[in-house]
Amino acid sequence: MKKLLIVANWKMNKIKDEAKNYLEEFLPLVKDAKSDIVIAPSFALLDYMQAKLKGTGIELSSQNMFFAPTGAFTGEVSADMLKDFDVKYVILGHSERRQYFLETDSFINKKVISALSNGLKPIICVGETIVQKKADLSKEIVKEQLSIILEGVTEKDVENIVIAYEPIWAIGTGFAMNASEVNEMAEYIIKLVQTLLQTTKKVKVLYGGSVNEDNASEFFNAASISGALVGGASLDAKKFAKIILG
């Protein structure tokens, strides 16, 4: 049985009080869960969440980071600062960062390299737009993204990276991709990463895009999908617990 990795991407949601209510409901529900659970709150909540998640087995992720170690980069957060809060994962290249903050694949690549050299596990987001999908370009787009984003990443890091396949048209829309199509893409990504990193090891591929408590098991039952990156449905403790518990 594969061990699923299920990640909550809270995006720019929740203040401390809301996180407190959420965890009071969520933690008892998932205390016997068999999956690896990760929560990615805003930077502002990391201190609070670190204290609350201690001893629960649930890991912390951030939603972004900058690649420089220190310096005059107003508004940015480094890998060291994240490690200070016991953060283990970092979501990089999310389509919202690409869309609103103009992040490019080569910029994301620098962050991936920095995260790995600091012992953080990047959750690397890739995926096509609806126009690209209709033009049957999904695989080409993902290949282009990963070829640049994984430049300089070596075979020894396959186990330290996670790829989140998130077709942009499925994010926050309520229109999840069909599980067998995602599985096909996951197989493609696994092979692509094997080629790019010259390894026979298999990278973990998560699916993200309108995953909810009704459709999650379809993805989890697919052979090559290792888990999910969940946005909207992860904001509700009961719904997220249901996704985890099946």
The CA distance from 238 to 221, in Å, is 21
105 binds ligand PGA (CB under 6 A): no
The CA distance from 62 to 11, in Å, is 10
The owner of tokens 């205390």 is 31
230 binds ligand PGA (CB under 6 A): yes
The CA distance from 34 to 109, in Å, is 32
Query: Is 166 considered catalytic here?
Result: yes
Interaction residues for ligand PGA, span 149-188 (CB under 6 A): 166, 171-172
Q: Which of 41, 122, 209, 227 binds ligand PGA (CB under 6 A)?
A: 209
Active-site residue, selected from the candidate residues 59, 94, 96, 103: 94
First-to-last alpha carbon distance for the chain, in angstroms, is: 14
Segment lying near ligand PGA (by CB under 6 A), choices 31-39, 140-148, 203-211, 219-227: 203-211
Concatenating the DSSP letter of every residue in 87-152 gives EEEEEES-HHHHHHH---HHHHHHHHHHHHHTT-EEEEEE---HHHHHTT-HHHHHHHHHHHHTTT
Q: Which of 184, 188, 196, 232 binds ligand PGA (CB under 6 A)?
A: 232
State the nearest-atom distance from the C-beta of 240 to ligand PGA, in Å.
10
Segment lying near ligand PGA (by CB under 6 A), choices 65-73, 81-89, 204-212, 236-244: 204-212
128 binds ligand PGA (CB under 6 A): no
Q: Reduced to 3 states, what is the DSSP secondary structure of residue 61?
A: strand
208 binds ligand PGA (CB under 6 A): yes
Q: Where do contacts with ligand PGA occur on this chain (CB under 6 A)?
A: 9, 166, 171-172, 208-211, 229-233
